A and B are shown apart, each in its own frame.
Chain A
């Protein structure tokens, strides 16, 4: 955890050092740290819908509430559908738990596990600061939907991450992500996420609709839509405890 905090500090310092010299081309690590800051900042909460789309089936939607504090603490709570209500995830540093209401207790889990049948891994929601998990290198430039983007190659800093490598497209104009391709440590292309509907929400301008398309199963997609957000109100540490995960609302 200490190493990750040091990396966070270093990444932030890199961003600050980069900002006055706007004319200079930023490095990959600087770009990713800036994207993390633009998307999540230091604290926030948001309400989101996860819609799973499967070939030949009715789409299924879950509603979640997500709380984020700093780079180390995330809590996710399921609000709907009724059968999933009350379930939740908590991450504090490298520790992650899943709360199962029927069992009345939380158990340790791995970030690589799929998030409740979606095309997301737990860590796609629980570990949102990519600069801490991956080393980044700018490999080129491309346009996505008419927006000039840097193309970055992100490689895992260690084996604890959910993916071995990411290919990351970041818009040059506003440092917002446009597309991510996820690769396993074996090199297999697992899925692609595209980011759309950029708008102001909760005091921050960011993409509010993410579409995750599986590359392993034809036609499998998950749509992640942020409905409400608040990136201004500070959150107490008491939210990011197992007790709150199990008993809080």
Chain B
């Protein structure tokens, strides 16, 4: 961690000292964010040997943006985690080009933001379906072209083949409607394919949103051990399954925000299905890490709720409370959050996570009983 701190600090020092001069000389604007965050975990018992999670994890993040006039922009997001001392993680790095007044190209490692869902995005085919807002989430190598043509918004994503997956292409078409938004999209990647859409509809002060996708293709897991890496196919390639999000939200005058979202995933397994699968495949059953991951990832029905209030007790304080409820086993993750903004340049955030439920449930069976996350973010 110390080496990473030195490297990141050096980068910041060099940037701070020389980049503004370079940017001024080249008529470019320079801005960015520096974040120090930590996560502290309370385990229910002794930390399991070989567990990926540790009691404490700190990370430094540095995001730099360069504006090159009207038509170009570059962004780079670096991270350094205490879990991998000395390593600098490249979380995002892309270049924005405006090809014409209504056509934009983004090239490089980037996060995708398709879909109207907040907690889940089933149509975010080539990126992460969850945690899109998480600043620590890594981007995906993509060519991302968006344009307004014939009154419609066209988007095209192309992803090169990676270590674990094939090349992929996704397209999206947005229709401008009065009182609502509608988009349809499709993708193909190796033997995986799918189609879906999303919409948002204003109903007075409320907005109702939905996002859905039918997907086919083998869901795969990868096991890496001393014998090498091997792949396990969990589903036949021709079986279609449905992912859907339905929700609504409202902003209230005075800075309050309320969101409710339901998520259904046909691809997911019930406890019985998962148990049967593990029982039938000793190789999987003998790998506790994989079993735990599958058990957690492939659940079917969730409810997510979020209440947020800006100007809570003080003009510069914001408070939030979110609930992620597993509708099958009744377990839940409760996450209160408090953040303080100072002069628009500094933000302090503290967020807790409480894993609750019976010993056999998803959140109740988590080895972690609670987490505490803190972050200091400076924008410049």
Using a CB–CB cutoff of 8 Å, the interface residues on chain A facing chain B are: 1, 54, 57-58, 60, 62, 80-85, 92-95, 102-105, 107-110, 112-114, 117, 121, 236, 238, 241-244, 247-249
Contacts and interface: CB of A to CB of B under 8 A. Distances in A.
A217 B102 CA distance: 43
Given A117-B310, A117-B315, A104 B104 contact: no
Contact of B73 (A1, A94, A107, A249): A249
Given A241-B153, A247-B146, A82 B380 contact: yes
Nearest to A56: B315
Contact of A85 (B31, B111, B341): B31
Interface stretch (B16-24, B79-87, B199-207, B223-231): B199-207
B132 A104 contact: yes
B17 to A, nearest CB: 18
B147 A243 contact: yes
Interface string B93-123: 0001010011010100001110010000000
Contacts, number: 101
B310 to A, nearest CB: 6
Interface residues of B, number: 51
B79 to A, nearest CB: 16
A81 B153 contact: no
B345 A83 contact: yes
A113 B206 CA distance: 12
Nearest to A247: B104
Given A113-B251, A249-B70, A104 B113 contact: yes
A154 B59 CA distance: 55
A238 B255 contact: no
Interface in B28-50: 31-33
B236 interface: no
B205 A105 contact: no
Given A54-B315, A60-B343, A247 B205 contact: no
B101 A243 contact: no
B288 interface: no
A26 to B, nearest CB: 33
Contact of A249 (B67, B249, B311): B67
B344 A114 contact: no
Contacts of B148: 238, 241, 243
Contacts of B345: 81-83
A10 to B, nearest CB: 21
Nearest to A55: B315
Given A108-B181, A121-B253, A83 B379 contact: yes
B284 to A, nearest CB: 36
A85 B207 CA distance: 25
Contacts of B380: 82
B96 to A, nearest CB: 7
Contacts of A242: 153, 174
A220 to B, nearest CB: 9
B310 A238 contact: no
Given A85-B31, A108-B200, A243-B146, A103 B253 contact: no
Contacts of B101: 236, 238
B135 interface: yes
Given A54-B315, A81-B379, A82-B379, A110 B205 contact: yes
B341 A57 contact: no
Given A108-B202, A243-B102, A249-B67, A94 B178 contact: yes
B76 to A, nearest CB: 15
Contacts of A113: 251-253
Given A60-B344, A83-B344, A107 B200 contact: yes
10 contacts: A82-B344, A104-B113, A108-B202, A109-B207, A113-B253, A238-B102, A243-B153, A244-B102, A247-B106, A249-B70
Nearest to A80: B344
A57 B315 contact: yes
Please name the 6 residue pairs, one residue from A and one from B, whose CB atoms are nearest each other, closest first: A81-B344, A104-B113, A82-B379, A105-B113, A238-B102, A247-B104
A114 B253 contact: yes
Which of A83, A85, A104, A121 gathers the greatest number of chain B CB atoms within 10 Å?
A: A83
A163 to B, nearest CB: 11
Interface in B248-266: 249-255
A45 to B, nearest CB: 14
